[in-house]
Chains A and B, each alone.
Chain A
Amino acid sequence: MDGIPYREQSVNCTEESESGAVEGFNVNFPTQPAATPRITITAEQAVGIANVLAAPLETSPATLQRVQLEAIQPNSFWLAGGSEMDQQSTAVVAWQCRFRIGQRTYEVWVDPSSGAVLGGSLTQPKGTLPASKGPESLADAAAIRQALQHATAVFIYGRSGDKTPLAVLSSQVHPAHFRLIRQTSNLHVQGPDTRLLYDGRIEIRAAGKDYAAPFDVGTGRIPAKAHAQWATVPSSVTSWLVHLKAARRAKHH
């Protein structure tokens, strides 16, 4: 484990600027130490695994920025309906594969002993957010449904200005869920945890174009009297998908 950095675990010490007098410090170690990893997957193999997940999300080519061992807290970011918010409380060592694709930076964390994907993240610079200059805006249900028919990826954000999505769905990685999304006539986004929700948005990547649709948490509806209702965005989209299934069953019965 020597030399392997922990992700977001640190000691932060604040000092007065003139004198260097220590005002305080905080030891931010939220997990127990990670076990020493058994490494049977090479960095190159890890990148190959990671590329399968990250590359299809964007039309621009993926550029590998970094691959290194890092102690991370696994999350469900790359699982269907997953989120990087629901991180586990244990730390494990993984290959951190970081890609730059267009304006976005994706990470895929690969288990160095099994090759399993343990989680990941997405960040993007503030200047690329739709609020300033970005995707075409969708304001009614028909336009949203049309975009979803051709969607290759859907990004869900709790706030319109968030840089990190609550969840990402890829048509290649999560084909069953996309079939569901396209077949459902009454889209309804709802989840158990509304604490993070204020003025959310979704982004839809379809046929080389980006679309953005805001939703209004106050009313639970897209601001243009949509038939489709986007109520609250879940912290885990699993509940959203469950709800879609329920809506679909209701239609057939």
Chain B
Amino acid sequence: MVRNVGYSLLAALAVSAAPGVCAPSRVATAQQAVDTALAYCRIIGVTATAPPTVTTPQLNRSIHRNWRPRWSVEFHGQASLEVADNGTITYFRDDALFDRLDRDHTLAGPAIDSAAAIRSAQAALAATGVASEVGPPSATLMQIASPPQPGDRF
């Protein structure tokens, strides 16, 4: 049985209301940033036990475009996050999942449907503090290599 393609799902949620919005709590210290990041990881079920590395708030040094100053919090090998000064999570990367997919050299199997992909994205965004600002979502199934290649799973 041939397994199917190296798909990646991209759910792009277009903004239809004001960006910025609800401020769960003010984040003024590195410890508050870590606590916020930990709380988020706990909610979405991502392990974050490694000692965190915290970078002070920055506006322009991050490659991610956001107008708020953000703390960068990294749990080495597990997860990387950015926490805005108003407590919203503006960036998340499951480093452990990336590493696992990077090492997986089998072809990907059939993709879940777009409705399921959107539900998964909405669940991840629900606890970020920005979820209420985004408009109707759309999902795009993306194939990294054509023809699909083993190892193109992330």
Chain B 11-50 interface residues, beta-carbon cutoff 8 Å to A: 11-21, 44
- In this complex, the member of A1, A13, A19, A32 whose beta carbon has the largest number of chain B beta carbons within 10 angstroms is A13
Task: Return the CB mask of A47-80 against B: 1 if under 8 Å, else 0.
Answer: 0000000000000000000000000000000000
For A28, the chain B residues whose CB sits under 8 A away are 64-66
Interface size class of A (residues with CB under 8 A): 20 to 34
Q: How far is the CB of A57 from chain B (nearest CB, A)?
A: 29
A208 interface contact, C-beta 8 A = no
Partner of B124 from the list A25, A30, A32 (CB cut-off 8 Å) is A25
Residue of B at shortest CB range from A11? B13
Given contact pairs A13-B124, A28-B66, A20 touches B14 in the complex (Cβ within 8 A): no
State which residues 50-68 of B face A: CB under 8 Å.
64-68
Q: Does A15 contact B (CB under 8 A)?
A: yes
Are B67's CB and A32's CB within 8 A?
yes
A224 at the interface (CB under 8 A from B): no
Q: Main SS of the interface on chain B?
A: mixed
Task: Provide the bound-state CA to CA distance between A9 and B43, in Å.
Answer: 26
For the complex, is A127 an interface residue (Cβ under 8 Å from B)?
no
Alpha-carbon gap, A2 to B133, bound state (A): 9
Does A132 have its Cβ within 8 Å of any Cβ on chain B? no
Q: Is A176 on the interface with B (CB-CB < 8 A)?
A: no
A14-B91 contact in complex given A5-B16, A22-B44, C-beta closer than 8 Å: no
A89 to B68, alpha carbons, bound, how many Å? 12
User: When the two chains form their complex, are residues A9 and B15 in contact, meaning their CB atoms are under 8 A apart?
Assistant: yes
Most buried by A among B9, B21, B117, B125: B9
User: Which residue of the partner chain, among A11, A18, A24, contacts B110 with CB atoms under 8 Å?
Assistant: A18
Which residue numbers of A lie inside 8 Å of B, CB to CB?
Answer: 1-6, 9-34, 89
